[in-house]
Amino acid sequence: MKKNMGKADKTIRFLVAAVIVILFATKVISGTLGVVLLILAGVFLLTSFISFCPLYAPFGISTCSLKDKH
């Protein structure tokens, strides 16, 4: 699996996931919306850790710099 996410993309996804988790933990968001956003946060965390976004692949999108690709 080739990396297709750059550092900025990974950082933004991590921060968005952290905000969602904090909002859910403080009960600002709850119910079905909260669960859906928590699942999205989990996907964001997973993709940021593995540096690969499956939605980028079919479209040939890469936010990764040339030196970071492996």
Write out pLDDT tens, residues 55-68: 998 888 888 876 65
Question: What range does the domain containing 29 cover?
Answer: 7-59
Residue 22 falls inside a structural domain:
yes
Query: What is the C-alpha to C-alpha distance for residues 13 and 17, in angstroms, rounded to an integer?
Result: 6
Higher pLDDT, 27 or 69: 27
pTM of the model: 0.84
Residue 4, helix vs strand vs coil: coil
Stretch 27-52: mean pLDDT, rounded?
96
Whether 65 is covered by a domain: the verdict is no
Decide if 37 is inside a domain.
yes
Percentage of residues in the chain having pLDDT higher than 90: 69
Give a yes or no: residue 70 inside a domain.
no
Establish if 67 belongs to a structural domain.
no
Our count of domains for the chain comes to: 1
The predicted pLDDT at position 69 comes to 52
Q: CA dist 5 to 9, 29, 41, 43, 58, Å? A: 6, 28, 16, 14, 14
Question: Which of 56, 18, 54 lies closest to 38, judged by CA?
Answer: 18
